[in-house]
A = this chain, B = another copy of it.
Amino acid sequence: MVVPILPATSAAPPAGGIRSQTGADLRQVALTQFASVGFAATSLQNIADIAGFSKSSVLYHFASKEMLLEQVLTPAIDQLEVVLDRFVTEPETIATRERFVDDFIDFLLEFRLELHTFINQAQSLRGIAIIDRAGLLIVRLAASICHDDASNEDRLRFGFALGGAAYSLVAGMTFLGEATLPDDDLRPALRTVMTELLAPVSVHPRPAHS
């Protein structure tokens, strides 16, 4: 017995124009559960209970649990691809790298739950198409940020930026009050730390950026 968070509108949407509100609700619930307790530990029954539907309904809207995961993560991976493509297309200058940091922070704040899901569970979810696609993107991202001649420190900084962001923006809530900050307070601090980690040494730790 779980009290439904979303009352399911009693199976009768007021206007037919609404496109699959149920599917969106289920995706949102699934994302929250996947990010907080993990994909393997989240059952379809669990998702259905929270959303106020039956397990059969979940499987009506999504062909399988894996397909649900794919649809949940796809918008985030698409956006990450856009951000990365924009970065690698341009000539590399301090300005373009700083704009990449800004783009990346926007991505982090919008898709923090998706990031946490595929960053911290990639190994157990190998073989699922969207996860493998995300993995390739991460490799491309690493290669673009760290050149061939990058030092071990710089490669480590990239890993810290990725794993640190995923942890601080989601899991950090478990222990710290950080993530309860409104995004507007979080963004400048995030920009400072991410710049330290991702911008080359030519940018000083606390730059007076544009």
Q: Which chain B residues lie closer than 8 Å to A119 at the CB level?
A: 167, 171
- How many Å from the CB of A168 to the closest CB on chain B? 3
Asked whether, in the complex, the Cβ of A193 is within 8 Å of the Cβ of B157, the reply is yes
On whether the beta carbons of A175 and B120 are closer than 8 Å, the reply is no
Chain copies in the assembled complex? 2
Chain A residues touching B, majority SS:
helix
What residues of chain B lie closer than 8 Å to A156, measured between beta carbons? 168, 178, 186, 189-190, 193
Tell me the chain A residues, 129-158 only, with Cβ under 8 Å from chain B. 135, 138-139, 142, 151-153, 155-158
> Quick check: B41 and A175 within 8 Å, CB to CB?
no
Residue in A37, A160, A167 with the greatest tally of chain B CB atoms within 10 Å: A160
B-binding residues in A (CB < 8 A):
36-38, 40-41, 119-124, 135, 138-139, 142, 151-153, 155-168, 171-172, 174-176, 178, 181, 185-186, 188-190, 192-193, 196-197, 205
Given contacts A156-B178, A159-B167, 13 further A-B contacts (CB under 8 A): A37-B40, A38-B41, A38-B121, A152-B189, A155-B176, A155-B178, A156-B168, A161-B164, A162-B167, A163-B163, A163-B167, A166-B167, A196-B196
